């Protein structure tokens, strides 16, 4: 705890370990589980999933058409799957 990382999702192994101990985690859907092209809700905003870039996914916000890098292991809500 001397030098903790600033970002919540920067350490993927720690995030996976903590999520495995959470009983509510079985009910959540992660961004990495969705196929490319799927539309999902994140904090009240709708995004379309794009290409994976190392640990983050390039996502397009539906309303503003802006692109954002979103951590791949973030829990998302209300996903509309797209099968390409």
Strand order across the 39-42 sheet: 29-30, 75-80, 39-42, 45-53, 56-61, 67-71
Q: Is 11 inside a domain boundary? A: no
Residue 56 belongs to a domain with what CATH number? 2.30.30
Q: Identify the weakest region by mean pLDDT among 26-35, 36-45, 75-84.
A: 75-84
Number of domains in the chain: 1
Is 36 among the domain residues?
yes
pLDDT digits (tens, 9 = 90+) for 10-24: 777 888 888 888 888
Give which of 13, 57, 67 is closest to 34, Cα–Cα. 57
Query: Looking at residue 43, what is its pLDDT?
Result: 92
Q: What is the pLDDT of residue 15?
A: 80
Classify residue 37 as left (phi > 0), alpha (psi -120 to 50) or beta: left
φ and ψ at residue 63, rounded to 5 degrees? -70, -50
Model confidence, pTM: 0.78
Establish if 9 belongs to a structural domain. no
Per-residue model confidence (pLDDT) at position 67? 98
Domain that holds residue 46: 31-84
Q: Is residue 43 part of a domain?
A: yes
- Looking at the domain assignment, is residue 10 inside a domain? no
């Amino acid at each position: 705890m001397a030098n903790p990382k600033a970002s919540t999702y920067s350490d993927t192994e720690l995030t996976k370990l903590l999520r495995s101990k959470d009983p509510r985690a079985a009910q959540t859907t992660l961004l990495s589980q969705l196929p490319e092209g799927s539309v999902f809700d994140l904090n009240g905003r709708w995004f379309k999933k794009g290409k994976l870039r190392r640990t983050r996914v390039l996502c397009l916000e539906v309303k503003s058409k802006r692109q954002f890098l979103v951590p791949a292991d973030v829990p998302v809500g209300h996903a509309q799957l797209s099968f390409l």
